[in-house]
Homo-oligomer: A and B are copies of this chain.
Amino acid sequence: MGRAKVIALLTDFGLADPYVGAMKAVIAGINPKVQIIDISHHVPPQDIQEGAFILYSSYKYFPKGTIFVAVVDPGVGTRRRIVCVRTGGYTFLAPDNGLLGLVITKGEVGARCNVPLLAVEVTNARYFLPEVSSTFHGRDVFAPVAAHLSRGLNPARLGRRIDDPHTFSFPDPLVVKKGVMAGEIIHIDRFGNLITNVEHVWAEVLDWGPVSISVKDKEISRISRTYQEGQVGELLALFGSSGYLELSINMGNAREVLGCVRGDKVIVRYKDRAYNND
């Protein structure tokens, strides 16, 4: 695909330690022209599910050709594989622990788009730093490999093709019975918005009529469009910017008010107009 203009970074390294800076330093030494964009470095330590969601909900806004480096890697230095996955559009580099799972299974990489998926196990030490520590592959392996890819290196040079990259995905919501769907909170953002695994596509496919949503002991009786509907302090449900149903409080913090954590159940009751034979 020729040279890439952007390398995007996602890690659980935080910004206090010099780990992210060291990765950027290595990239700049190999390809001074590539632009480095941070997605986030505040994935909770070793939280692969959170990393996978953050990557999946943002990658498609990057310019085609972008190389994504995702490092949430509790198994660094063990036999876990490192994978490079390429589609017509993007290249992803990550430990093969599920971090690319959502991108592979739900993104354009995967089934939805029928784009051929090239997956390679990264083993060719020629593109690593000369000395590879067993505890910081972000700096010693991922950064130099990404920089070489951004200069046009063919991923096939990185190692052998594989056809079984890890395809973790968070659970889909469950249709418990006709007109009742059980979802869960999969992400909570800085504003305290509670993002669920109920994608907008469900509302379309099932052609939701009037809806009511329950979380904890609260009930919401309509889908809003913005964070500022109803009264100040009112609990709202809306489809957010990632396409997922989320719960929010007008000028407030839903996480704090409801005391929710990731994994909490959210029940959606809807009039099922698509399959409505009643």
Q: Mark A residues whose CB is within 8 Å of B.
A: 5-6, 8, 10, 12-22, 24-26, 28-29, 32, 35, 37-43, 45-46, 54-55, 57-58, 61-63, 66, 74-78, 133-136, 139-140, 189-191, 225-228, 238, 240-241, 251, 253
B238 touches A135 (CB 8 A): yes
Residues on B with C-beta less than 8 A from A75 are 226, 228
A78 touches B228 (CB 8 A): yes
Known contacts A25-B8, A25-B62, A139-B241, A17 near B133 by CB under 8 Å: no
A32 touches B5 (CB 8 A): yes
B63 touches A32 (CB 8 A): yes
Q: List 15 A-B contacts (CB under 8 A).
A: A6-B25, A14-B42, A16-B42, A17-B40, A17-B189, A18-B54, A18-B58, A20-B38, A25-B66, A45-B253, A75-B226, A77-B228, A78-B228, A133-B240, A135-B240
SS of A interface (majority): loop
A74 touches B41 (CB 8 A): no
Residues on B with C-beta less than 8 A from A225 are 77, 134
Residues on B with C-beta less than 8 A from A14 are 42, 190
Report, nearest first, the 10 A-B pairs whose CB atoms are least far apart. Answer: A77-B226, A136-B241, A18-B58, A16-B42, A14-B190, A29-B63, A21-B39, A25-B62, A25-B61, A133-B241
> A40 CB to closest chain B CB, in angstroms?
6
